[in-house]
Amino acid sequence: MGYRPGRHFLQIPGPTNVPDRILHAIAYPTIDHRSADFADLTNACLEGMKRIFKTTGHVLIFPGSGTGAWESALVNILSAGDKVLAFDGGHFAGLWTRVANNFGVTVDLIPGDWRHGANPHALEAKLRADRGHEIRAVMVVHNETSTCVTTDIAAIRKAIDAAGHPALLMVDTVSSLGSIDYRHDEWGVDVAVAGSQKGLMLPPGMGFNAISAKAIEASRHATLPRSYWRWDEMLDMNRKGFFPYTPSTNLLYGLREAVKLLLEEEGLENVFRRHKRHAEATRRAVRAWGLEIFALNPAEFSSSGTAIVMPDGFNEADLRAVILRHFDMSLGAGLGKLAGKVFRIGHLGSLNDLMLAGTLCGVEMGLELVGVPHRKGGVTEAMAWLTEQAKVSAPQA
């Protein structure tokens, strides 16, 4: 492959663009993970992640991916034969369910059409019917990356409380944390799952759990086999600033930098506003093209990505291949039963207005090249929205 000038546009909904400052931080020489300096690094990362999860409880950092953090959530609080509730909301919800099944956990799947978030009313009814309190936990995906539909986690919490049910609440925040407001303590979540490569703007390679006191208590009695993902050993070593085994030292350098960017320099609430602005600009472009947004409920539109329905007779894989070949941009594929049917624009992580405009230009040109029926002017609509937003928000000095 020849030289490709400029930056590759990585507009999939994770992994996301890694800021140069994070790449530079990762390039520091690796240090001894049992040294005093390392404890400072650990503490900065753990304290920062608590603020990002909005929790005063514990956060755990594992070398691994989001899938590892899913497994960690399950094996620490459940026992073989336990029953859990999950929602058939998309590809990632299905994969997490499969991990639970692989451990002998019985998953009762609440049906869904993939175009709406998890239904709190269906959940409440299921929990009310469970008079013996056999259901140990509820698994929900905050932002279902395959469909670009979000779920109202506060409403899920309310449903569990309304049913007076003791089930633990587990939430996948892999593609929402650091992009869409997530409030671990306020929403009474027991175990949250996250990964490094999406809103946190890091390369892939770390998984996270945020855990409540109730989850820690449950972990003392749960009997699923676990070793690498043990919370007790991790918590014990973390107290002194260390890890039970070699952590991802260089990714932790990157995380310390990401925490600084998100919390201190841009500010989390500004980060969420920026994601909302870009998501709205993208939807305006899609509507102007005359294409269909896959998510049906505007209250559930995702700020981290937008899934767009391909018109009949066109395959999203062809569109993505043409855009990659001509404009060096990667877009998200249709996953699971959506393969061939939807493509996704990732607009999360380190992204500014012009990067988004460039992304939408690439899509509009790609639609033309592939001959997908559409109207021109999506990019113009997005520009108009971004311009309006620039007028009402004073630029940072």
Ligand X SMILES: *Cc1c(COP(=O)(O)O)cnc(C)c1O
Binding site for ligand X (CB under 6 A): 14, 65-67, 92, 141, 145, 172, 174-175, 195, 204
Are the beta carbons of 174 and 66 closer than 8 angstroms?
yes
Please state whether beta strands 191-195 and 206-211 pair in parallel, antiparallel, or not at all (unpaired): antiparallel
Minimal distance, residue 91 CB to ligand X, in Å? 9
Ranges of beta strands (E only) in the chain are 9-11, 58-63, 83-87, 106-110, 135-141, 143-144, 149-150, 168-172, 191-195, 206-211, 292-293, 305-309, 329-331, 342-346
Please state whether beta strands 135-141 and 168-172 pair in parallel, antiparallel, or not at all (unpaired): parallel
Minimal distance, residue 177 CB to ligand X, in Å? 10
Q: With respect to ligand X, which residue has the nearer C-beta, 229 or 385?
A: 229
What letter does residue 342 receive in the DSSP assignment? E
Minimal distance, residue 175 CB to ligand X, in Å? 4
Minimal distance, residue 147 CB to ligand X, in Å? 10
Q: With respect to ligand X, which residue has the nearer C-beta, 174 or 372?
A: 174
Of 150, 251, 249, the residue nearest 201 (C-alpha): 251
Are the beta carbons of 384 and 299 closer than 8 angstroms?
no
Minimal distance, residue 140 CB to ligand X, in Å? 11
Q: With respect to ligand X, which residue has the nearer C-beta, 127 or 348?
A: 348
Minimal distance, residue 68 CB to ligand X, in Å? 7
Instruction: Using CB positions, name the residue nearest to ligand X.
Output: 66
Q: With respect to ligand X, which residue has the nearer C-beta, 141 or 351?
A: 141
Type of residue numbered 110:
I
CA dist 168 and 191 (Å) reads 8
Q: With respect to ligand X, which residue has the nearer C-beta, 84 or 382?
A: 84
Minimal distance, residue 226 CB to ligand X, in Å? 18
Whole-angstrom CA distances from 10 to 7, 120, 282, 347 are 9, 34, 16, 10
Sheet holding 342-346, edge to edge: 292-293, 305-309, 342-346
Are the beta carbons of 42 and 241 closer than 8 angstroms?
yes
Q: Which two tokens stand for residue 92?
A: 């990632």
Minimal distance, residue 251 CB to ligand X, in Å? 13
Minimal distance, residue 381 CB to ligand X, in Å? 27
Minimal distance, residue 302 CB to ligand X, in Å? 10
Q: With respect to ligand X, which residue has the nearer C-beta, 100 or 386?
A: 100
Angle subtended at Cα 129 by Cα 127 and Cα 131, rounded to the nearest 5 degrees: 90
Q: With respect to ligand X, which residue has the nearer C-beta, 195 or 254?
A: 195
Whole-angstrom CA distances from 289 to 3, 302, 305, 352 are 32, 19, 17, 22
At a CB cut-off of 8 Å and minimum separation 6, what does 339 contact? 317, 333
Q: Which two tokens stand for residue 312?
A: 């009949």
At a CB cut-off of 8 Å and minimum separation 6, what does 16 contact? 10, 197, 198, 199, 201, 346, 348, 349, 350, 351
